[in-house]
Structure formats: C-alpha cells, structure tokens
C-alpha cells in the first residue's frame, strides 16, 4: 500500500476536545503528514523523520465547522469510544495540509507556455493581451471559477494572486473564493504607465484599491494585497500612494515583482535614478513590511538582502517561471544566510504549472544547478507551513493540527500513472514525497478539502468527464 506505514509513527499530544465543543461534523481517516516547525535533523533513516515532522500512518482527523479539533491515531480514537464506521476512509492515501501558492496570476492561466521570449517581451506578447480580455466582466467571472477549480485540482487551497488592472476582476476572483470558502488573497493591479491602452489605470487606481480593501480585506477568509505590478509600470505618484495605502489599512499585503530579470533591473534603475538599487525603489515608497511578498528576487546585492531581512519582507521563489523565462537561478542558501523570508509560488502563467509539487521539483533542480540541496521534507514544508508563516497566517493554515482551518490535500497516485508504478517499487516516506514532486503534478491529487468541505474529488471528475 502506498503512502502508508513505512516510516515509524510519531505521536504528538493533542489538546483534548473541549467538553462544550459541538460534535465533529467530519472525520477523515488516513496517513497524515504535517509540520509543526521547519524540519531539522533530517537523515536518510526512514524511521527518523526529523524534528518538526508529524506523521501517523493511521490517523483520524476530526473537523468541526471548518476547523480541525483533534488529530489522533485510529487506535486512540477507538479507545476513546470513536466509531471508525463514521470516518471517511482514506487509508492508502496521504493527507497533507492544503498547498499554499504565494505568487500566481489568475488572468494568465490560459497563456502558460508562451514560446520564445524572456520577461519584458513575454509581457508584451503574451501577458498583456491576455489581461486586456478581462475588461469583460462575464469573462472575468467565468475564468475566476475555472481558476479556482484548477487550484483545487492541483491541491492548492490558498493563493496570493494578481488579478488585472480592472477593479471587477478582484471582485470576480474573491467572490468565487468566498463561494467555495477558500482562504484567498488578491488585489487589483496598479499600473499607470508602460503598458498598452486598455491596461493602464484609467481612473484612480488607488481609490479603487481602497474601495476593494474596504469590501474584501478580512471578510471571512478573503484578504487584500496592494498590488503595484512592478516599479516599471507605476509612476512615482502611484507608488507613493500605494505605499500610503499600506499604512492607512494595516494588515493589508504588498504584492509585487522584484529583480527577476537583468533587463527589467536596468529599466527600473533608469526610471528611478535616485534609488540606490531595486530594493531601495520599493523602500523609498515604504513598501517593505513583514506582509510584503516580492516575487523572484533573483538578482539582489547583499545590501538588498539585508534590507529585506531587516524589514521582514519576503521573496517568493518561482522556479518554473525562472527557468521558463530564462530569468536566473535563485540562490536559496544565500537567502537563508541573510535571514530573508522565503516562500514559494507558481507564477502561472510565466510559471508552467499550477502544481506546487511540480514547483518544488523545479526548485530542487535550481538548487542542484547552484550545487545546493533542497531536502524533500524542507521543500514540502515550504509549500505548507512555510508559506503560511511567510504570509503571517501560520496560526491559521498550513498545518493539520488542532485549531487550524481544515484545508487538506489528499495524495494518492492516479491509477495507472507512472507515479503509481514508482511508488509500488517501494520507498520510504521521504522518497515517496520526492517521487510525488517529480512524477505527481495533478496525477498525485486525489481530493482537496477546504474548510472541512470537499471541493475536488478525482473520482467524481473522472466519472463526469
């Protein structure tokens, strides 16, 4: 049986159910893996999973009103009077915290794999024309729904996402997230220069952002990110006003791009001659905060890394995009040495896969090219608890543990897939995770649960198509 019982179970004490707590409405049974800390002491020994890694080969996860209230072994569940017949039986699968993507563009999903260019030309040739089409509200709404379903099909339950310059695309996306109960962070793109007609802020983009913040920030599970596309497409005035929004609305995120491609860096420094460097461009406008997510950050000086670390601002590593657009190889060890917060994003559609498993597999290849290594458990931690922490949501999502929102991704190879063959060949838990990274993609995802509700089930999709 795959995804089961190979590594020794490590039992972690859980809070007992409160006496006045309502009865669980959902009980899931299966192997589970989650991280309570950045994994350390990792060794090749499958019985020694390392510190921070929580694994049970046969667990019961109790969920009440969208929140996990207890995780225990099936034996303990039975001993305390629980009935296994009431559990949704997912034995043979591996339950993981829902994947989190800290950088993606919802309007770019249909332009994945645009041939032949690097960043600035790619934007002109593929991204901008695709985004112009979102001026149509009906189209934006239909695409938002497909986007959400596509995230779920790949096991992603939370994303920090770009929309377009049109105010209604943020509404469309967050309405869809809200319908599904998904935790989602988005923001209207700010862009008032160096972009084609139909894709620049025609009205007051800042006032529109403020209106969207009022409507969406901390409404249920939705949150808002102030989203200047990047410095090249925003005037000084717009950048300044965007920075001011962060102070006016504390708790909002800042989401943008940074030091992705050498040509972009040259163009940026020409537009902002007073800045010391690229990080300073954003710093001058007070955009460096612990809730700031800068996509890419590949080509940064030690001073820039130190400044990010000092302010708590983070970098979203987007390896499929960086390789696809030829942008460069992010040096993970260097980021760690400078104490810069790291998260991981798909960057669809510069990135080439919605799958966060595929994303960390490409991240592993990047680390190989840098003569470094990225342990599978560390990489899996990055797209679950690590990304949650980077978004300041580490107490709410990213773990399968009591008190956490019940976003769960269920891994099981698609019958007949190469991943199934590979796992049948026998492997430790770490090796299984590694194989799922490289051979999994959406073939690895059996179900996705959001706030305790099933939002994707491969079995149902396969019979309906």
Query: Residues in the site for Zn ion, rule: CB under 5 A?
Result: 295, 347
Closest of 320, 317, 405, 398 to residue 355, by C-alpha: 320
Would you say 69 or 347 has its CB closer to ligand GUN?
A: 347
288 by DSSP, 3-state: which? Answer: coil
Residue nearest to Zn ion (CB): 347
| Element at 88 (helix H, strand E) | strand 88-97
What is the rounded CA–CA span in Å between residue 42 and residue 114? Answer: 39
What is the rounded CA–CA span in Å between residue 173 and residue 216? Answer: 11
DSSP letter (8 states) at residue 219: B
Residue nearest to ligand GUN (CB): 350
Would you say 82 or 350 has its CB closer to ligand GUN?
A: 350
Would you say 104 or 132 has its CB closer to Zn ion?
A: 104
Q: Is 123 in the site for ligand GUN (CB under 6 A)?
A: yes
DSSP string, 330-386: --HHHHHHTT-EEEE---BTTBS-S-HHHHHHHHHHHHHHTT----HHHHHHIIIII
Strands 341-344 and 408-411: unpaired
What is the rounded CA–CA span in Å between residue 96 and residue 194? Answer: 42
The interface partner of residue 127, options being Zn ion, ligand GUN, none and the CB cut-off 5 to 8 Å by kind, is: ligand GUN
Q: Is 105 in the site for ligand GUN (CB under 6 A)?
A: yes
Q: At a CB cut-off of 8 Å and minimum separation 6, what does 153 contact?
A: 354, 442, 445, 448, 456, 461
| Element at 324 (helix H, strand E) | helix 319-324
What is the rounded CA–CA span in Å between residue 439 and residue 450? Answer: 24
Strands 184-187 and 156-162: parallel
The interface partner of residue 230, options being ligand GUN, Zn ion, none and the CB cut-off 5 to 8 Å by kind, is: ligand GUN
Q: How far is CA 320 from CA 131, 180, 312, 379, in A?
A: 21, 27, 25, 14
Q: Which of 201, 260, 283, 407 binds ligand GUN (CB under 6 A)?
A: 260
Task: Give phi and psi for 188, each to the nearest 5.
Answer: -65, 135
Would you say 347 or 389 has its CB closer to Zn ion?
A: 347
Q: Which of 168, 180, 217, 229 binds ligand GUN (CB under 6 A)?
A: 229
Would you say 108 or 341 has its CB closer to ligand GUN?
A: 108
User: Least distance to Zn ion from the beta carbon of 241, Å?
Assistant: 22
Q: Which of 230, 278, 282, 364 binds ligand GUN (CB under 6 A)?
A: 230
Would you say 295 or 361 has its CB closer to Zn ion?
A: 295
The interface partner of residue 260, options being ligand GUN, Zn ion, none and the CB cut-off 5 to 8 Å by kind, is: ligand GUN
Which positions from 130 to 169 touch ligand GUN by CB under 6 A, shown as an x/- string? ----------------------------------------
Strands 51-64 and 26-40: antiparallel
Would you say 94 or 295 has its CB closer to Zn ion?
A: 295
Would you say 35 or 106 has its CB closer to ligand GUN?
A: 106
Q: Which of 153, 154, 183, 257 binds ligand GUN (CB under 6 A)?
A: 257
Q: Which of 28, 31, 127, 258 binds ligand GUN (CB under 6 A)?
A: 127
Question: By CB under 6 A, what part of segment 319-378 binds ligand GUN?
Answer: 321, 347, 350
User: Least distance to Zn ion from the beta carbon of 154, Å?
Assistant: 17
User: Least distance to Zn ion from the beta carbon of 255, Å?
Assistant: 9
Q: Is 221 in the site for ligand GUN (CB under 6 A)?
A: no
Q: Which residues make up the interface to ligand GUN (CB under 6 A)?
A: 105, 119, 123, 127, 229-230, 257, 260, 321, 347, 350
């Amino acid at each position: 049986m795959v995804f089961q019982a190979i590594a020794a179970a490590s039992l972690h004490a859980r809070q007992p159910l409160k006496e006045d707590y309502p009865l669980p409405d959902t009980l899931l049974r299966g192997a589970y893996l989650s991280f309570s800390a950045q994994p350390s002491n990792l060794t090749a020994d499958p019985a020694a999973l390392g510190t921070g890694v929580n694994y049970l080969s046969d667990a019961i996860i109790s969920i009440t009103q969208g929140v996990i209230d207890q995780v225990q072994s099936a034996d303990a569940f039975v001993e305390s009077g629980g009935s296994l017949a009431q559990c949704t039986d997912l034995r043979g699968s591996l339950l993981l915290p829902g994947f989190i993507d800290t950088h993606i563009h919802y309007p770019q999903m249909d332009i994945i794999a645009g041939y032949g260019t690097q960043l600035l030309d790619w934007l002109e040739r593929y991204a901008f024309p695709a985004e112009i089409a979102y001026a149509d509200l009906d189209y934006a709404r239909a695409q938002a729904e497909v986007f959400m379903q596509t995230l779920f099909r790949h096991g992603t339950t939370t994303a920090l996402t770009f929309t377009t310059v049109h105010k209604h695309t943020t509404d469309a996306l967050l309405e869809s997230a809200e319908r599904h109960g998904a935790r989602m962070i988005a923001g209207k793109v700010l862009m008032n220069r160096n972009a084609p007609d139909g894709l620049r802020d025609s009205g007051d983009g800042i006032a529109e952002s403020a209106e969207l913040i009022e409507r969406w920030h901390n409404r249920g599970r939705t949150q808002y990110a102030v989203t200047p596309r990047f410095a090249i497409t925003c005037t000084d005035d717009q950048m300044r006003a965007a920075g001011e929004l962060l102070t006016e609305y504390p708790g909002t995120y800042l989401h943008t791009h940074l030091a992705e491609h050498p040509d972009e860096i040259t163009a940026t420094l020409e537009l902002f001659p007073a800045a010391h460097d690229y990080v300073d461009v954003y710093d001058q406008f007070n955009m460096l905060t612990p809730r700031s997510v800068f996509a890419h950050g590949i080509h940064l000086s030690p001073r820039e890394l130190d400044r990010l670390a000092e302010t708590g601002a983070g970098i979203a590593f987007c390896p499929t995009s960086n390789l696809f657009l030829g942008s460069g190889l992010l040096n993970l060890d260097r980021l760690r040495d400078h104490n810069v917060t790291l998260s991981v994003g798909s960057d669809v559609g510069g990135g080439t896969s919605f799958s966060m498993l595929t994303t960390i597999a490409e991240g592993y290849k990047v680390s190989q090219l840098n003569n470094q290594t990225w342990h599978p458990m560390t990489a899996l931690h990055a797209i679950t608890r690590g990304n949650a922490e980077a978004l300041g949501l580490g107490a709410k999502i990213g773990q399968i543990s009591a008190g956490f929102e019940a976003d769960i991704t269920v891994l099981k190879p698609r019958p007949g897939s190469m991943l199934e063959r590979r796992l049948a060949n026998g492997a430790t838990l770490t090796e299984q995770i590694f194989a799922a990274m490289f051979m999994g993609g959406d073939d690895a995802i059996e179900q996705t649960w959001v706030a305790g509700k099933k939002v994707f089930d491969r079995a149902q999709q396969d019979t309906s198509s």
